[in-house]
Amino acid sequence: MDINFNKNEDHNKLLLSELRTKFAKVKLGGGKSRIAKQHAQGKLSARERIDFLLDEERDAIEIGAFVGDGMYEAHGGCPSGGVVVKVGYIKGKQCIVVANDATVKAGAWFPITAKKNLRAQEIAIENKLPIIYLVDSAGVYLPMQDEIFPDKEHFGRIFRNNAVMSSMGITQIAAVMGSCVAGGAYLPIMSDEALIVDKTASIFLAGSYLVKAAIGEQIDNETLGGATTHCEISGVTDYKAKNDKDALNTIKNIMDKIGDYDKTGYNRIPAVKPKEKEEAIYGILPKSRAEQYDMLEIINRLVDDSDFEQYKEGYGKTILTGYARIDGWAVGIVANQRKVVKTKKGEMQFGGVIYSDSADKATRFIANCNQKKIPLVFLQDVTGFMVGSKSEHGGIIKDGAKMVNAVSNSVVPKFTIIIGNSYGAGNYAMCGKAYDPRLIVAWPSAELAVMSGNSAAKVLLQIETASLKKKGEKITEAKETELFNNIKKRYDQQISPYYAASRLWTDAVIDPLETRKWISMGIEAADHAPIEKPFNMGVVQV
């Protein structure tokens, strides 16, 4: 191995170590002492509940582990958005599980909590996946109620989605395993079946203190809305469980009886591991985001048998397109080529930049995959579209628009992996979050922004120095360097993959070696939902 490979490997493994350290921290939710308090109450933690529920021998993926990271420090923080979401298997059936984490502000809903819950429901709706809610929440976090209560994508949308999923025939099961108050009380009751744990769980629109204040009635919470009340008097819940494990075992028994689903029929054969060594990804991916590398070397370590059949190999070389298999599933891959390439005319094109010919090629390939019912995988390491008079006169805007149109109207499931740069309109054309990928994840090496930290800092520096000069300040070289470094530091924080993950612009930050698992489980989920409309790009300028 050459020295650059070793340097790259060291750098990327350090990034991976940082990922694992961050994940170990968020896994503790509100901390060890609060988990111990849950245990003392006879309750499992949110993660323990999910782990007990999911089939132990099967893979699972976690959605939004870093949600809320660094967002609510003034309020004590909100690890994982106060809710844990995993896609896994119960009795062999793929499903999505949503569990409130009562160690984080008693499971109260912050604005990002609502966004994460809605993302879980979106995944269930898109893929027609059964969804299980493990409810243990004090309701809306009142100090921020104005940011979570009244808008379209706020708390109330959860119950709207409950109703929509019910009409679609998507299985919804709710287990109330702690507090379930106010508007949140509607979620379990709008599910198909509802369970409640005796003595530790309760459901009511208003607790005993509020009842006394409102109507003067003196009553305790257990009598007001405990398991006996709702299973034997109100009929609100369907099953009374002795404890957490009893409730979770009941869910397993229910899932075990559910019939099979209608499959879309995406092509799959027995899986084969890549022929090329997967771990070499760490050494291939450069330490610097500005360095070039051959994306084919990455693809060959992600696809079955390292077999990638290129489409239009000699044309539009800054985007690689072609067919492959991942864990046995047939896929169409659209990837940014990150090395400088030469055209037939002898011209050099920059790696990671989308030119007119590469946009045209990608558009045609996306249309082909839609026609053949082949899921699409986008591997992003893109700095944007080519600029300058030659590109503008050649119609780069038109060709870019065609590619965006094809991505937007694609009816086969799309999956996006952000490997490195994800800048500007390149993020859009390569199926960024706004273009409805079924799953979108980032490697620790990813950067998401309008432009790179260096470029943005230079632009912002010009604006700031001009403003200071207008005020009469003298800008020395040392002062300019200080300003640049401060601006770049602030901007670099915002382009971090964790900044994006905390706001749910991506579903996860993952080890590159988990990429095959995420894509495979994502296609399996998509296979639950038959395609309901034909591919049609509408009006396109040719």
Residue 39's H or E segment, with its range, is helix 32-40
Which residue in 465, 430, 431, 501 sits closest to 69, CA to CA? 501
Residues 6 or more apart whose CB falls under 8 angstroms from that of 420 comprise 285, 289, 338, 352, 380, 381, 443, 445, 446, 447
The pLDDT assigned to 532 comes to 87
* Region label for 105, one of left (φ > 0), alpha (ψ between -120 and 50) or beta (otherwise): left
DSSP assignment of 48-60 equals HHHHHHS-TTS--
| Rounded Cα–Cα distance for residues 116 and 121 (Å) | 9
User: Are 81 and 69 within 8 A, CB to CB?
Assistant: no
User: Are 160 and 121 within 8 A, CB to CB?
Assistant: no
3-class secondary-structure state, position 9: helix
Residue type, 299: I
CATH topology of domain 31-256: 2-enoyl-CoA Hydratase; Chain A, domain 1 (3.90.226)
User: Are 304 and 327 within 8 A, CB to CB?
Assistant: yes
pLDDT level of residue 542 (50, 70, 90 thresholds): low
Averaged pLDDT for residues 414-439: 96
pLDDT digit string, tens, across residues 104-132: 999 999 999 999 999 999 999 999 999 99
| Rounded Cα–Cα distance for residues 134 and 252 (Å) | 13
Domains 31-256 and 278-446+506-528 share a fold: yes
* 219-223, long-range: CB < 8 A, 24+ apart: none
The pLDDT assigned to 138 comes to 87
Q: What percent of the chain has pLDDT over 90?
A: 74
Just give the CATH number of 278-446+506-528.
3.90.226.10
The pLDDT assigned to 233 comes to 94
| Rounded Cα–Cα distance for residues 63 and 84 (Å) | 8
pLDDT digit string, tens, across residues 161-195: 999 999 999 999 999 999 898 777 888 889 999 99
- CA distances to 473, 479, 482, 487 from 464, rounded to whole Å, are 11, 12, 12, 10
- Least confident residue range of 91-100, 219-228, 265-274: 219-228
Averaged pLDDT for residues 54-75: 96
Task: State the average pLDDT for the chain.
Answer: 93
Averaged pLDDT for residues 91-96: 98
pLDDT digit string, tens, across residues 131-163: 999 999 988 888 888 888 888 888 889 999 999
Checking if the pLDDT of 39 tops 70, the result is yes
- Least confident residue range of 410-419, 436-445, 489-498: 489-498
| Rounded Cα–Cα distance for residues 398 and 360 (Å) | 10
What does the angle CA 251 – CA 255 – CA 260 come to, to the nearest 5 degrees? 170
Give the predicted TM-score (pTM) of the model: 0.94
The pLDDT assigned to 541 comes to 63
| Rounded Cα–Cα distance for residues 133 and 86 (Å) | 11
3-class secondary-structure state, position 299: helix
3-class secondary-structure state, position 475: coil
**Quick one: tokens of 103?**
């160690």
Checking if the pLDDT of 35 tops 70, the result is yes
Helix spans in 172-324 (H)? 186-189, 208-215, 221-225, 227-228, 244-256, 281-284, 295-299
Name, of 100-104, 183-187, 200-204, the range with top average pLDDT: 100-104
Q: Cβ–Cβ contacts within 10 Å for residue 247, how many? A: 26
Checking if the pLDDT of 1 tops 70, the result is no
Domain limits, the chain: 31-256, 278-446+506-528, 452-495
Residue type, 97: V
| Rounded Cα–Cα distance for residues 462 and 456 (Å) | 10
Which residue in 288, 275, 350, 277 sits closest to 319, CA to CA? 350
Greatest distance between any 2 Cα atoms in the chain = 86
Checking if the pLDDT of 452 tops 90, the result is no
| Rounded Cα–Cα distance for residues 238 and 230 (Å) | 8
pLDDT digit string, tens, across residues 461-519: 788 888 878 888 888 888 778 888 888 888 788 899 999 999 999 999 999 999 999 99
User: Are 382 and 426 within 8 A, CB to CB?
Assistant: yes
Residues 6 or more apart whose CB falls under 8 angstroms from that of 397 comprise none
pLDDT level of residue 367 (50, 70, 90 thresholds): very high
| Rounded Cα–Cα distance for residues 83 and 470 (Å) | 49
3-class secondary-structure state, position 533: coil
Residue type, 17: S
pLDDT digit string, tens, across residues 288-318: 988 999 999 999 999 999 999 999 999 999 9
